[in-house]
Structure 1
Amino acid sequence: MDDREPLIRPSPAPPPAPGLESDAHSGAPIPSRKQPRVVIEGESFTVRGVLVGLLVGLVICFSNMYFGLQTGWVSTMTMPASLMGFGFFKTLSRHLKFPFSPVENVLVQTVAGSMAIMPLGCGFVGVLPAMNYLLRPEEQGPIDLSLWKLVIWSLGLCYFGVVFAVPLRRQVIIREQLKFPSGFSTAVLISVLHGKTRKSTSDGKDGQIAAGFASLVPSDDELQANTSDADGRQQEELDHASDWRKNVQVLLLCFFVSGIFTFATYFFPIIRNIPIFGTVAASTWLWTLNPSLAYVGQGIIMGPATTIHMLLGAVVGWGILSPLAKYKGWAPGSVDDWEHGSKGWIVWVSLAIMLADAIVSLGYLASRSALRYFPEFEGLLGLKSLPNKLRSVLTRRDTTGYTSVSREDDTDAQPSRPQEPEIAALDSDEIESSKDESEDQDDAPANQQIPDRVVAIGLVLSIIFCVICIHIVFGDLVPLYATITAVFMALVLSIMGVRALGETDLNPVSGISKLAQLFFALIIPQSNKSSVLINLVAGAVSEAGALQAGDLMQDLKTGHLLGAAPSAQFWGQVIGATVGAVVSAFIYKLYTAVYTVPGDLFQVPTGYVWIFTARLVTGEGLPPLAREWAMGFATLFAITTVVRIYFGGDKRLQAMIPGGIAVAVGMYNVPSFTLARTIGGLLSWWWVTYKGWRDTPLIVLASGFILGEGFLSIVNLIMQSVGVPHL
């Protein structure tokens, strides 16, 4: 036995909650083999849902291209997409043939989210600017792709990650029930918007299983109870209508205010760089504030811990290392010079931090997964001799934060399951049969699943299509073996990305792409003139696969909790990805044709990170002393990442330890963006701590800020293209 509490119950256990039955050994409630029947309202796939999802996704896609070219930040914004879809259909409710249902809302946010990630997933905010503007002639550059080649490139990258996510679904959502916090939160928001929330028990926790299929959908008993209480139901509907109206009003107000600010910045560009620390700090060291409400909104979404860690990166990078490199002569050029100034010098330090964080985090994740599925490794590696705390770090499974199904293959202590000796006494065939039966009942009906034949054929065709598209775009510059290797490496890395997203709500695509670049530096000869280009392409393929697989898995988690058909979500994702890939190519061409890239507005910092990484791993020398400082910071943040993993169960303590990715982002972005995000993070902390705001109003407020600037940037784009003068 381990150190869990014994299941001793001196008094009779209370009656189990609906849908639970008593354990024969302990009297504790356990999940019943027969769950309460729930009624799934509406159709999971509708033409109108797809069209509205595409419309919402178009707005977010424009926003993500705009912010991505500025700072590299993009967001799927699934919760705002759900809210906008609900508001649209609520406004037209009197004219609808059938009501807008939660499962249809899942389709809307799935389609919108798949469009939203295309600017990042297809490399338009990082890899392509690096190829177009930063690749040197001796590196086979610069490569200026025509519009039709951009479309072929983006279509080639947009499918295989989506298809590969399907086989992972049963493992990470059904069997392991990973959290996928954003997917869970979106499901809760949708259920609240539609007034379909499940009743709670007297202890304040969900009385039903919040990890099974349609677990957030009320059962028949709850629906009958709601119907019988007419007065209470009417008041609940009035309160619900009032809540969604307030949320929509907040969204529109924030959208309007942020849009007006964005419109004003076109005529008064100086607003984007306010010298709050004096003119010398602003002109020489780039310490200014961009009071963009969109970046404040991003900070609200990121939260106080992440934004403060980013601020730490800005202080260390731009307040200490940049002046030091300048005065010591390591970076003799102008501070804002990427090639010879301290702006480019500190990028090497931020890059080293990202690599260290990615290697440690993904290495830990891979090791823990290996021990979970191959427990014999624990004895072979001598891990049983480690202290219990260290062993638990390697073998623990993070709790979901909500009531989960107890099954025989869970590693966590669950008071609802028999003790280990009794499980060991069962026949292994009975255990496997019980597992399969439980999983089938916790999953969607067979007719709503994605057929295995579709997955198998789709995966093969999507891989072949990707290889062909890349060959059409780059020809012999990128050999076929490199593209094929990149795709299969992307599939392996996607597994780690999906698991990291499920457990931490962070998809480490930046670290994954850097690991891919590092790997390809080992297999591509440095004598090859195209080695840098091949490195960029390989990293882009890996990033695309991990990003799309993770995005679909978040959506599948949302749909799983609300009872949406996985097949409907899959085809919605395919449609959204297709349209998003084509639209992103057009938007990218628009922005790059009208604005100077890189320039004051679009600095494409992630493009420099990509090109610097490719040159580093392919053997190019570093600026003076950059190697020593980079190795020092890499070692430091490898240690902090280990410490963060060790204290992963204590979220407050973990938040106090700087995260490598956040610090690195604060270093390679100029301080003006980081300061605005930090303001947003502190505001979110203040509103939650002292005003008691819930997450939903904060998400709505932040989304209005982000979408307002993203949408009005289209107006600024039009004015710039027709030559409207600045003041």
Structure 2
Amino acid sequence: MSMPSSLIGFALFKTFSAHLSYPFTPTENVLVQTVAVAVGSMPLSAGFVGVIPALETLLLPSEGGPLHISIPKLILWSIGVAFFGVFFAVPLRRQVIVKEKLPFPSGTATALMIAVLHGKDTRNLVASSSSPSTEPERPPSTEDHARSWKSKTRLLGGAFCVSAAYTLASYFVPVLRNLPVFGRGLATHWLWALNPSPAYVGQGIIMGTSTTLHMLLGAVVGWGVLSPLAKHNGWAPGPVDDWAKGSRGWIVWVSLAIMLSDSVISLGGLVLEPAVRAVMAMRRRGDGGSGSYQRLLQGGDEGEDGAQNSSYESVAGTLHHRRPRKPHHDPAEEEEPEDLPPSHLVSNKTVIIGLFLSGLLCIFSTTLVFPTVPLPATLIAFTLALLLSIMGVRALGQTDLNPVSGISKLTQLLFALITPNVLTNLVAGAISEAGAQQAGDIMQDLKTGYLLRASPRAQFHGQLIGSVAGAVVSAVVYRLYTTVYPVPGELFQVPTAYVWVDCARLVSGEGLPKGAWTAACIAAAAGAAATLARGWGLKGSRWREWVPGGIAVAVGMYNVPSFTLARAVGGGVAWWWKGEETTLVILASGLILGEGVASVVSLAMASVGVPHL
């Protein structure tokens, strides 16, 4: 949400600029979005959309659950996992941003949007993929800038109002959330319905056409082929939407197998990357040739769990890997001077002390909140979190995809070899996911700041402040939602929570229904082949985009079709749109924000008993 945060911050501060005693420049806008993203990402970092509801509602008594975690403990846990990823990532800035100049497409796109909103010259912000124009661009006049700002603000406000109105209408008329567009029979018995959520459409716009089509393919295979097959063969005799005996609970194993194989192959490529880079560098030095290093695996057109860390395909697609390199240039062989004075950088002393203290805080909070988790397991999980966060940062910088779900699943797989305890497995995976999430968030923000010459030290402080605020707010709002609504329930199905528990049971060899093991092995092999083909076999080929992405297919297969269809509509809008890309992102942001704000109003109405029609 870095781009929407930048938009909202710009609109608010510009609205009240006459009453401010200081200017609101691009650097202030960078700081605003840094704090906002830190607050908004805490529900993901602390696991309030996944591991926490899994521990509280889905864990069996034989597995040490279900747990009930008090609000003070939720806050302590959130703060415990909020900082160590930030402290660990800050020293990586010099290597991956200043020296290697990894693109971090969302961070670059955010910098571009901020520059456009403030009327700054964007010609030198990023290198264009096209040949440089011989005609100099005319800087926007004050009148042009004011007109552009007003039109974008009106579009954002209009999309916000439409989305909020629909969300409030769906509260009073709940049938709007499940429209039987394919007939009542398919909607009732096979779950083929449409939830025309404006936020889902907006997310589909930001994900892009390729990702949403891959998700749609997963929905067709999972719910159009595998679900009837499992039902017909008696492998899933219960109702289709039953997680225990229905085809919904059977499909999840196939989906998880694809996710695991994709994660292992992709992260394996990142592990091998330094070795491949060194070999290529030696070959270039040996034969005196030029040429640039090519990544072993490429990706970035899949979103995490359908919505996390979107690639901003429309805007950022033109910003991927566009910075030209000089002949014989190897970024690993030269020393880049510091881009800012030391007073604007985070000192090594601060990093070392902060990492040590934040590590102790993580271990202490985990031990206090989950006393049955052994201390050695927590130490191993913390160490793995630091190592895997490096992979997350590099993947994010290269592909705009922070594979936090894959990182957590890989940790769960490793911990299944250490201990078969499901509770320990879940907590260990949560620690790894939190570290990678926080490291990726701050690195995207630092890329935006690097391009706009903002102070990394100020952004670092903003991230810490936002994380503390987000930890408190997220814990309170999570408990408010679970008090007012049944979780999991029809409205809040928390599919990611099921992914966590089912993955822990899968890697421990438990809970597989009849026929699921064979189907999961076939799906894992197909997912691995697709990932290898996209990352290596078809690299540079025009056929690469036709090979489905593993994570996107698995997400479309895992979630009910109504989750995917609206996003596919958004992907269709992104394909159809021929205008300015920034305008499309603003439209999508308004749709997402309108439903988000209106859902809080719906929560308030539900808590006081306002009836549905």
1:566 aligns with 2:461: no
**Offset of 1:647 from its aligned partner?**
5.8
Tell me the equivalent position of 2:311. Answer: none
C-alpha distance in 2 between matches for 1:186 and 1:705: 18
* 1:713 Cα deviation after fit: 0.5
Q: What SS does structure 2 have at the residue aligned with 1:440?
A: coil
- Hey, what does 1:297 align to over in structure 2? 202
Shift of residue 114, structure 1, vs aligned partner: 1.0
Shift of 1:646: 2.1
Other-structure match for 1:722? 608
The equivalent of 1:245 in structure 2 is: 150
CA distance in 2, matches of 1:482, 1:377: 40
1:195 partner letter: G
1:324 aligns with 2:229: yes
Higher relative contact order (CA 8 A, sep 6+): 2
Who is 1:156 aligned against?
A: 80
Equivalent position amino acid for 2:580 in 1 = R
Confirm or deny that 1:459 pairs with 2:349. Answer: no
1:91 corresponds to 2:11: no
Measure the CA separation in 2 of the matches of 1:333 and 1:574: 48
Return the offset for 1:497.
0.7
Give, in whole Å, the separation in 2 of the partners of 1:365 and 1:288: 39
Counterparts in 2 of 1:323-722, with a 5 A limit?
323-373=228-278, 394=296, 400-404=320-324, 406=326, 410=330, 435-436=334-335, 439-440=336-337, 443-475=339-371, 477-524=372-419, 526=420, 531-646=421-536, 649-650=539-540, 653-687=543-577, 692-722=578-608
Instruction: Return closer, same or farther for 1:621/1:593 CA change in 2, 3 Å cut-off.
Output: closer
Matched, 1:261 2:151: no
Distance change (3 Å), C-alpha of 1:155 and 1:648: farther
Please tell me the root mean square deviation across aligned C-alpha atoms, in Å: 2.6
The question of whether the paired residues in 1 share the 8 Å contact of 2:297 and 2:535 is answered with no
Change in Cα spacing, 1:165 to 1:670, as seen in structure 2 (3 Å) is same
Task: Report the 3-state secondary structure (helix = DSSP H, G, I; strand = E; otherwise coil) of the residue aligned with 2:362.
Answer: helix
The equivalent residue for 1:314 is 219
Instruction: Give 3-state SS (helix, strand or coil) of 2:579's partner.
Output: coil
> Residues of 2 paired with 1:682 and 1:78: CA distance?
23
Distance 1:367 1:653 in 2: 25
Distance 1:367 1:105 in 2: 38
Structure 1 residues 376, 700: closer, same or farther in 2, change over 3 A? closer
Measured in 2, the distance between the counterparts of 1:134 and 1:693 equals 46
The CA distance in 1 between the partners of 2:438 and 2:294, in whole Å, is 31
Partner of residue 216, structure 1 = none
Aligned to 1:279: 184
Aligned to 1:507, what secondary structure does the other structure show?
coil
1:405 to partner: Cα distance:
5.8
Contact 1:151/1:581 (CA < 8 Å) preserved in 2? yes
Question: Residue 366 of structure 1: CA displacement?
Answer: 1.4
1:491–1:409 distance in 2 versus 1, CA, 3 Å: farther
Q: CA separation of 1:93/1:683 partners in 2, compared to 1, >3 Å: closer, same or farther?
A: same
CA distance in 1, matches of 2:190, 2:128: 53
The answer on whether the counterparts of 2:281 and 2:330 sit within 8 Å (CA) in structure 1 is no
Distance in 2 of aligned mates of 1:679 and 1:709: 17
Residue pair 1:371, 1:377 contacting (<8 A) in 2 also: no
- Residues 328 and 204 of structure 1, relative CA distance in 2, 3 Å threshold: closer
C-alpha contact (below 8 Å) 1:134/1:142 kept by paired residues: yes
In 1, the alpha carbon distance for the partners of 2:7 and 2:62 equals 50
Task: Read off the aligned partner of 2:397 and give its amino acid letter.
Answer: G
**Are the equivalent residues in 2 in contact too, given 1:471–1:480 (CA < 8 A)?**
yes
2:26 is aligned with what amino acid?
Answer: P
What code does the residue aligned with 1:469 have?
S
Q: Secondary structure at the match of 2:473?
A: helix
C-alpha separation in 1, matches of 2:346 and 2:540 = 38
Note if 1:197 corresponds to 2:121: yes
Task: Please tell me whether Structure 1 or Structure 2 has the larger radius of gyration of its CA atoms.
Answer: 1
Aligned pair in 2 of structure 1 residues 302, 487: CA closer, same or farther (>3 Å)?
same
Q: Is the 8 A contact 2:163 2:592 kept in 1?
A: yes
Aligned residues of 1:251 and 1:701 also touching (Cα < 8 A): yes
Structure 1's unaligned 5+ residue stretches are 1-76, 209-224, 227-231, 412-430
Which residue of 128, 138, 145 corresponds with 2:62? 138
The alpha-carbon distance between structure 1 residues 535 and 194, as it changes in their structure 2 partners (threshold 3 A), is same
* 1:297–1:199 CA distance, 2 compared to 1 (3 A): closer
Q: Which residue of 2 aligns with 1:188?
A: 112
Displacement after TM superposition at 1:656 (Å): 1.6
Could you say what secondary structure the match of 2:91 adopts? helix
- Contact 1:258 1:294 (8 Å CA) reproduced: yes
Counterparts of 1:108-147 in structure 2, within 5 Å, are: 108-147=32-71
Task: Give the fraction of aligned pairs with identical amino acids, expressed as a percent.
Answer: 57
Residues 647 and 552 of structure 1: CA distance in aligned 2, closer, same or farther (over 3 Å)? farther
